Amino acid sequence: MSDLKNDLDATGLLCPLPVLKARKRLQRLSPGETLTMRADDPAAVVDVPHFCAEAGHELVSAISEGAVQVYVIRKG
């Protein structure tokens, strides 16, 4: 069963909202925990990896499911 605090549906949101919501959700997690985020904003392809690098988080994976990208971010 997935833990809702570790799941973020940011589909339908445009830049910078997916990253801002991911930042807020990651604040609730302990270092090493992962957040799975779904987003369909084309800018997320650039924004999410940049956010992870700047904030010290690890982008574990980024896959496309049609128009939706699924990101797994490990809190640094």
Active site residues: 15
Count how many residues are written for the chain: 76
Which run of H or E residues covers position 63?
A: strand 58-65
Give the residues across from 72 on adjacent strands.
36, 61
